[in-house]
Amino acid sequence: MKNIEDMSDAELIDSLRQESNSGECLMELVSRHSGIYMTMVHNYTPSVTSSTPTYKSELISDKNYYIYQAALKYDESKNTKFSTYLGNETRWMCLNLYNKTKNKSAKEIEIDKPEMKDIPEEENENEKSITREFLDKVMSIASKDPDPRILRIFKMRYMDPGTNKVTPWKQIGDSLELSIQGCINIHNKAITKIKKELSRDI
């Protein structure tokens, strides 16, 4: 088997999707492509000031998560380098976050309407806002899972008191003494289970 450092981006991504040495593969992708990610974040979000939207710090804190999501969506058959794809995805994300923040009214930023904005697009249908009733259903399902980490992750990620902002993965990982990748994997597997459970109620 090749050393991680000798693998191509496509090979790393394939291993990541198959959950084969996924943590090491992700960290190698992060090492290779953090530069383009951070360049796009700095170029397409406002400069850091006391009034800067907090999403910029979240984009920086959750860098590994966003690179991970880009890797999962990357389509090698389109003959685009992963670095180019990541750059375009990050730029698009930054511009959309900026426009959303600029256009949001105070009424749209209520604690009883948090957004699960970092759930992968295929999981949350283009980042639609969710109601308190829906969130309560999600938490109820999560609380019944035999893995107690799931409920802790969801509570920290989406129910931080006094804010509708999501908690950075690094902070969650430190609290649970897990790696960022470990938290993401637990989270995404739980989302799949919760979607199946909710579909039975429709």
Q: Which of 103, 123, 153 is the last residue of a domain?
A: 103
Point out the domain boundary residue: 56, 80, 103: 103
Q: Do residue 19 and residue 83 come from a single domain?
A: yes
Same domain, 13 and 99: yes
| One domain, residues 11 and 65 | yes
Instruction: Say whether both 59 and 150 belong to one domain.
Output: no
Which amino acid is residue 7, in one-letter code?
M
Asked if 98 and 9 sit in the same domain, the reply is yes
139 shares a domain with 85: no
Structural domain of 182: 109-201
Q: What's residue 96's pLDDT?
A: 84
**Residue 196 and residue 83: Cα distance in Å, rounded?**
34
pTM for the full predicted model: 0.53
The reply to whether 33 and 53 lie within a common domain is yes
Phi and psi, residue 120, nearest 5°:
-50, 145
Tens-binned pLDDT, residue by residue, of the chain (202 aa): 678 888 999 999 999 888 778 888 999 999 999 999 999 998 888 765 544 456 788 888 889 999 999 999 999 888 889 999 999 999 988 888 877 766 653 333 333 333 334 434 333 333 334 456 667 777 888 888 888 888 888 888 776 544 456 678 888 888 888 888 888 888 888 887 777 777 665 5
Residues 119 and 147 in one domain: yes
Q: Judge if 139 and 55 occupy the same domain.
A: no
Query: Which pLDDT score, from 0 to 100, does residue 89 have?
Result: 92
> Do 51 and 15 reside in the same domain of the chain?
yes
Q: CA 41, CA 85: separation in Å to the nearest integer?
A: 14
CB-neighbour burial class of residue 32 (10 A; exposed 0-12, middle 13-18, buried 19+):
middle
Q: Residue type for 29, please?
A: L
* Co-location of 98 and 125 in the same domain: no
Q: How many domains does the chain have?
A: 2
According to the 3-state scheme, what is the secondary structure of 137-152? HHHHHHHCCCCHHHHH
Q: Which two tokens stand for residue 109?
A: 């930023």
Domain boundary among 66, 82, 103: 103
DSSP 166: P
